[in-house]
Amino acid sequence: MELLINVRKWIEDNKSAFLPPVCNKLMHRHQLNVMFVGGPNERKDYHIEEGEELFYQVKGDMCLKIIENGKRKDIVIREGEMFLLPARIPHSPQRYANTMGLVIERERLKTEIDGLRYYVGDSTDVLFEKWFHCEDLGTQLAPIIQEFFNSRQYQTGKPNPDEILKETPFPLNFTSVMEPFSFRGWLNDHRGEIQQKKSLSMFGDNFETEVGRKSCTLRQVLTCPALWKHLSSSTHLTSLGQRLPNSVPFTELT
């Protein structure tokens, strides 16, 4: 994969891949999984993973349905806004036609598994769930969703007690989530700090994600310098004082 990618052109070149039920296309997979997600999607499932997920809306708005403290909640992420979802919170991204969002998550460890859940009606009672090791969410979700549609649980609307784990593979997170915020506004407010420091805690000490001029670390886990140059610069990327050709900075995507 090239170090620099014209994101607008990449989205246009791959628009045929943004298909229901998930509507996503993986751009990069090495330490960080970087994907773009279009719409409309067709999802009532809730995804659960052991890492954080970073959302940024490039075009249009989206609604991220979550289970917060045992209750359903809708998080509306508007165009140009960013939102960091804590680990181990069930979530269901709802996307609309003619929208585009960026989602970044860390690569899974070999020992980690993800979960996909459906709930009974508007409750938080589990109707159906599947746990799996995730390598490419875009290709792995569709077969599981189809398995649910073919299941007795889908036909009856009632769970099968023999197929639901009595304990989840890891404890779910009952923390309260942050509010989405304007990424451009945050950059403008913290530009001086970003230029002076190697990295800046963007979401507080309870999260692993940090932002810096040249790198982002999921603390003590990974680094991805090229990606976060896009995220932390409002000007085109430069090398030895020269503007790099065909580079599209993250903050100019809107």
Give me the residue label for tokens 């969002």: 101
Residue intervals of the chain classified under CATH 2.60.120.10 are: 7-163
By residue count, the chain amounts to: 254
Confirm whether residue 208 is marked as ligand binding: no
Pick from 206, 212, 207, 246: nearest CA to 231: 212
Give me the residue label for tokens 């960080």: 32
Confirm whether residue 28 is marked as ligand binding: no
Label residues 181-211 b or e (16+ Cβ within 10 Å = b).
bebbebbeeeeeebeeeebbebbeeebbbbb
Q: Are 71 and 124 in contact (CB under 8 A)?
A: yes
Q: Highest-confidence range of 39-53, 160-174, 184-198, by mean pLDDT?
A: 39-53
Confirm whether residue 43 is marked as ligand binding: yes
Which CATH superfamily, name and number, covers 7-163? Jelly Rolls (2.60.120.10)
Report the C-alpha gap between 107 and 92 in whole angstroms: 20
pLDDT tens for residues 58-69?
Answer: 999 999 999 999
pTM for the predicted model, two decimal places: 0.81
Label residues 216-238 b or e (16+ Cβ within 10 Å = b).
bbbeeeebbeebbbbbbbeeebe
Q: What is the DSSP letter of 217?
A: E
- The pLDDT mean for the chain works out to 80
Pick from 187, 245, 218: nearest CA to 104: 218
pLDDT tens for residues 188-233?
Answer: 898 888 788 766 777 776 666 554 444 444 332 223 333 444 444 3
Confirm whether residue 95 is marked as ligand binding: yes
User: Which position has the higher pLDDT, 233 or 155?
Assistant: 155
Confirm whether residue 219 is marked as ligand binding: no
Q: Exposed (0-12), middle (13-18) or buried (19+): which is 35, by Cβ within 10 Å?
A: buried
Confirm whether residue 53 is marked as ligand binding: yes
Q: Is the pLDDT of residue 51 over 70?
A: yes
